[in-house]
Structure 1
Amino acid sequence: MSNRRYVYLWVDGIHFGVRLEDAAQCILVVIGATADGKKELLALADGYRESEPSWREVLLDLKARGLTLDPHLAIGDGALGFWKALPQVYGTTRGQRCWVHKTANVLNKLPKSQQPKAKAALHEIWMAATRQEAENAFDHFVEVYRPKYLKAVACLEKDRDALLAFYAFPAEHWIHLRTTNPIESTFATVRLRTAKTRGCVSRRSILAMVFMLVKSAERHWRKLNGVPRSVFTLLHT
């Protein structure tokens, strides 16, 4: 990867509905976007409970393979292992929390009767046209729900900066940066295929199967919007 520049990373730890040799194992996935907007699979590796050491090993391997320039932004869910490992390897890469994961986490802390209205209010935050409008919608959510649902508000507030980090990047890219959808959409299909597997599966077997399925899907991944102009702007700011 030494001759390529990756501006964004999407990361996730994937668990499958098959019996592995070690139930604590998962597959750590990294997808990168190049400076010309193409998304590529960068890493597919064994992980242990999405732990900090597992993620650090994956990131160090990326650096050893040539990804020496810090990406601008990494997008992932709230798994603490990755966010602890990231600054140890790519010190200037900013973090963006996935809004789909965060929305689910917040709604789980609300009664079902409140969830539809709260979901719409959260949507107003991350779909706002400007950072200031998002901040205002964020403040409104906090004001409305804090008196009765402190745990839900605390879950949202603790990642405020990381949830709104995407606003610092070209608007054409926001649709790509707010969630881990590049990984989630791919692995929804992969899970359907692996769900047909019976019996206990070795780590080597599941990794090989998933790698082949993801590489096949990679050919159809959507490029970043607004490239190359928006990426040129990004690289020079």
Structure 2
Amino acid sequence: MHKTGNVLNYLPKRSQPRAKKALHDIRQAETREDARKEFDVLVGTYEEKYPKTVACPVKDRDELLTSYDFPAQHWQSIRTSNPIESAFATIRHRTKRTKGCLSRDGMLHMMFKLGQYAEKRWRKLRGSAHLADVIEGVDFINGIKPSIQNQAAA
């Protein structure tokens, strides 16, 4: 999400909607290969006229496509910053109002307790059954866990 904003900042306003669609097509591709093809389209379209626009995502190409190494059920959470920002909304709201009223330790304690309270309303991660596989380092291919037979053949 932040990379999209950075890329669009290098473009004139009239070109931004088309580039934004191209960036979304990369992010929403079904497979890593499809994403690479969409990436090449973006580079081909903007490289000549706006080299800074494509330099930004090209240097981070592999990192931007990392989500394909995780279970497909996790992609929605990986591709957004919303869970992080939502988790800290309660804390941010309260700490703005109590600025300067507490010691550092008191503020940390209050933030911890607010986080615990907010945690009660959090939804479970989609595909939580795959978390053990992710922790063990299982290589997912385009969001799909390879079967034992496929691993033996590779």
The question of a shared fold, defined as TM-score above 0.5 by the shorter chain, is answered with yes
Gaps of 5+ in 2: 139-154
Aligned to 1:160: 61
Structure 1: gaps spanning 5 or more residues: 1-99
CA contact (8 A) 2:26 2:39 kept: yes
In the TM superposition, 1:201-220 aligns within 5 A as 203-220=104-121
| % identical aligned pairs | 53
Shift of 1:198: 4.6
What pairs with 1:1-237 in structure 2 (closer than 5 Å)?
Answer: 100-199=1-100, 203-228=104-129, 230-231=130-131, 233-234=133-134, 235=136, 237=138
Structure-2-length-normalised TM-score:
0.75
Q: Max radius of gyration: which structure?
A: 2
Supply the distance in 1 between the matched residues of 2:49 and 2:102 (Cα, whole angstroms).
46
Return the offset for 1:224.
2.2
CA offset at residue 209 of structure 1?
Answer: 3.2
Task: Provide Cα deviations, 1:173-232, integer angstroms capped at 9, x if missing partner.
Answer: 11122233321222234323333235587544443332222222122222222332x345
Runs of 4+ aligned residues of structure 1 deviating over 6 Å after TM superposition are: none
Q: Deviations over 1:140-170 (max 9, x none)?
A: 1111111121112111111110111110121
State the one-letter code of the partner of 1:215. Answer: Q
Q: Residue type matched to 1:103 in 2?
A: T
Deviation of 1:135 (Å) = 0.8
| Partners of 1:200 and 1:150 in 2: CA distance | 49
In terms of fraction of residues, the more helix-rich structure is: 2
SS at match of 1:129: coil
Contact in 1 for aligned 2:32/2:68 (Cα 8 Å): yes
Structure with greater strand percent: 1
Aligned CA RMSD, in angstroms, stands at 2.3
On the 8 A contact 2:87/2:115 being kept in 1, the answer is: yes
Structure 2: how far apart are the matches of 1:201 and 1:146?
Answer: 52
Q: Which moved more, 1:158-167 or 1:176-185?
A: 176-185
Say whether the 8 Å CA contact 2:8–2:53 is kept in structure 1: yes
In structure 1, what is the equivalent of residue 147 of structure 2?
Answer: none
Cα distance change on mapping 1:233 and 1:150 into 2, 3 Å: same
